[in-house]
Amino acid sequence: MRKPSSKAQRILLPLLTCCSIVLLWQLSVSNGWISSLSLAAPWEAVKVAVASIDVMWPHIMATAYATVLTFALSSIGGMLLGALLMHGRIFRLAVYPSLVMFQLLPKIALAPLFVVWFGVNLISRLSFAGFISFFPIVLATLAGLRATDPLVLKLCKSVRASPAQIFWQVRLPYAVPLIMSGLKVGMTLSITGVIVSEFVTAQSGLGYIILFASSNLQIDLLFAALGWVSLIGLLSYGAVLLLERLIQWRLGAPMTGGLSLPGEAVP
């Protein structure tokens, strides 16, 4: 069991570090050490964020909606493709190199192509953001499913377990930690992809606000929009962490109660 002091340190140390950085930032701008034209003071950004909430709220919801939808579609598609790559050797040999090749391409350079293919709409933004966040989930799912202990797989074959039993009761529980790591990376890349796509294709969203503020040298508005982006990212990442804790609590161990013999009830 973890000591109470270690839990307090995990909460207090990041909080104190963040507060120290914000305080130093505020003092640097207030005392003129850093020009307000290049870096807005945190308090000014907070005031602008609060004062402009009525105007920014539709943009906040547009970015949040696109982020959640991108993550959901990328997660479902990535895990399904990872499972197919695991069980289909010929399919893996044919498809996996192409996935790696597309992943190595510079993403921002392909953004205009998505505008040409899909137009300036939500589908274009979701496609581009999904293109960025999709591959880590596929890779994590594939690596997790292949990380099953070979001795456990031999035991499964010795008791004549079906492929479905092996997948659901052995491979998938073993793969949960790596899959969750891929989902956490995919969540961060989802909001990154949404913001980048809003730079190129959107007339709404926080990415559009950031681009508008920077072109008009409204640094306080720019940092206010960045604050909302950070809040959306933190809430989304926290939701994935909560899901991970729930799954860990449900499993309780690397395997969900062990393998049932053929004909026995699955716990």
CATH of 40-251, one of 1.10.3720.10, 3.40.50.300, 3.30.1380.20, 3.90.1150.10: 1.10.3720.10
Question: Distance of CA 136 to CAs 173, 183, 256, Å?
Answer: 19, 8, 25
pLDDT of 37 strictly over 80? no
Which has the closest alpha carbon to 206: 220, 217, 216, 196? 196
Least reliable range by pLDDT among 38-42, 93-97, 217-221: 38-42
Helix (H), strand (E) at residue 141: helix 122-145
The domain ranges of the chain are 40-251
HSE-CB at 89 with a 13 A cutoff on CA atoms is: 0
The contacts of residue 113 (CB under 8 Å, 6+ apart) are none
pLDDT of 16 strictly over 50? yes
Q: Alpha-carbon distance 145 to 179, whole Å?
A: 9
Q: Alpha-carbon distance 34 to 242, whole Å?
A: 39
Q: Alpha-carbon distance 128 to 205, whole Å?
A: 15
pLDDT of 44 strictly over 60? yes
Q: Alpha-carbon distance 194 to 66, whole Å?
A: 7
Contact by Cβ (8 Å): 149, 243: no
Q: Whole-model pTM?
A: 0.81
- Residue environment code for 2-12, b if the CB has 16+ CB neighbours within 10 A, otherwise e: eeeeeeeeeee
Compute the average pLDDT of residues 168-179.
86
Q: What's the chain's average pLDDT?
A: 82
pLDDT in tens, 88-142: 888 888 888 888 887 787 777 787 888 888 877 888 888 888 888 888 899 899 8
